[in-house]
Amino acid sequence: MEQPSLEIKSVRKTYGDFVAVDDVTTAVPPGTVFGLLGPNGAGKTTTIRMVMDIIAPDSGEILLFGRPRRREDLERIGYLPEERGLYRKMTVTEHLAFLGELHGLRHRDAVERAERWLERLELADRAKSKVEELSKGMQQKIQLAGTVLHDPAVVILDEPFSGLDPINQGLFKDVLAEFKREGRTILFSTHVMEQAEKLCDHICLISHGRVVLQGDLAALKRERGGNSYRLVAEGDLATAEEVPGVAAAVPGIGEARLILEPDAVGSEVLRELTRRFAVSEFRSQEPDLEEIFIKAVRDAA
């Protein structure tokens, strides 16, 4: 097995009596897209800040590239924090060049890279605009460019899609796909499961500061597919939730996704469904990530 790009081992962080991160252990494989997932307040940002050495853990260990974290290792990381910050009076190019120089680039190289990224992010015509003149979405694209200007091996993004319209969300996703093809490691946090499901290879779900589920996303979905079923039938399918053995029903048009109780038997549930509905299809299917997340959080409560 390849050495993980990042390892978090039994990390804990408290603020007085409040436990923000509670014995979190996870590892990020190289060259993958890794989702650090959880509801707001779960401990995602605190975990990332400890990785970046912004705050120190009370206990535990953080390894980068197979060794205890060193300052030079952090220079190989591009970090986009949840709380953004821009120098609003600078022009866009000046701002990016300044960030590049902070990462050790020569001014000329920083300007050249800034120009390439502005072209890639469809902002070349705003190169001489002051940052304060840009829309929120444009500013967020500038921050992404500043995050990766120094060509990092690992890219860490804290809620990167927050505040973006659908077009710019798509642009960000395209850039992340390019990073993956180039062999970079990407870790991003989000509470929006739909985004993570489309992008991630591996996930770590945390709730109340603790890991509740983690692993290869495709494998996790296969493991949990036994309790998720697609029902195609006539009738008010929202009432399928009343059937013994059905934990939840998510109705659509002419169909519903059913989540069965852990000890439910599919054939017995089908027998009861046929008494209530004109059933034309009832089959097992992989659950989506939101279903996995909700169940994992409930089971851990």
For 14-29, what is each residue's pLDDT tens digit?
999 999 999 999 999 9
Separation between Cα atoms, residue 162 and residue 169, nearest integer Å: 9
Whether residue 135 is predicted with pLDDT greater than 80 in this model: the reply is yes
Residue 84 has pLDDT above 80, yes or no: no
Query: What is the pLDDT at residue 34?
Result: 97
Check pLDDT > 90 for residue 5.
yes
Looking at the chain, the whole-number percentage of residues with pLDDT higher than 70 is 99
Residue 162 has pLDDT above 90, yes or no: no
Q: Is the pLDDT at 300 greater than 80, yes or no?
A: no
Domains of the chain by residue range: 6-216, 225-285
CATH 3.40.50.800, domain 6-216, yes or no:
no
The per-residue pLDDT for 110 is 95
At residue 285 the predicted structure's pLDDT band, cuts being 50, 70 and 90, is confident
Query: What is the pLDDT, as a whole number, of residue 226?
Result: 65
Q: What is the pLDDT of residue 223?
A: 78
Give me the pLDDT at residue 291, please: 79
Structure confidence at residue 53 as a pLDDT band (50, 70, 90): very high
Of 195, 204, 201, 205, the closest CA to residue 219 belongs to 201
Mean pLDDT score, 254-279: 92
**All residues at 6 or more sequence positions from 40 whose CB lies less than 8 Å from its CB, including other chains:** 191
Q: Which residues contact 299 (CB under 8 A, 6 or more apart)?
A: 212
CA distance 36 to 190: 7
Rounded mean pLDDT, 262-273:
91
pLDDT at 132: 92
Residue range 161-169: average pLDDT? 86
Are the C-beta atoms of 235 and 276 separated by less than 8 Å? yes
Average pLDDT, the chain: 91
pLDDT over threshold 80, residue 45:
yes
**Neighbouring C-beta atoms of residue 80, cutoff 10 Å:** 19
Between 224 and 22, the higher pLDDT residue: 22
Query: Using one digit for the tens of pLDDT, what is the confidence trace for 35-44?
Result: 999 988 899 9
**Topology of domain 225-285, CATH:** Alpha-Beta Plaits (3.30.70)
pTM for this prediction:
0.82
Asked whether the predicted pLDDT for residue 225 surpasses 70, the reply is no
The answer, yes or no, to whether residue 82 has pLDDT greater than 90, is no
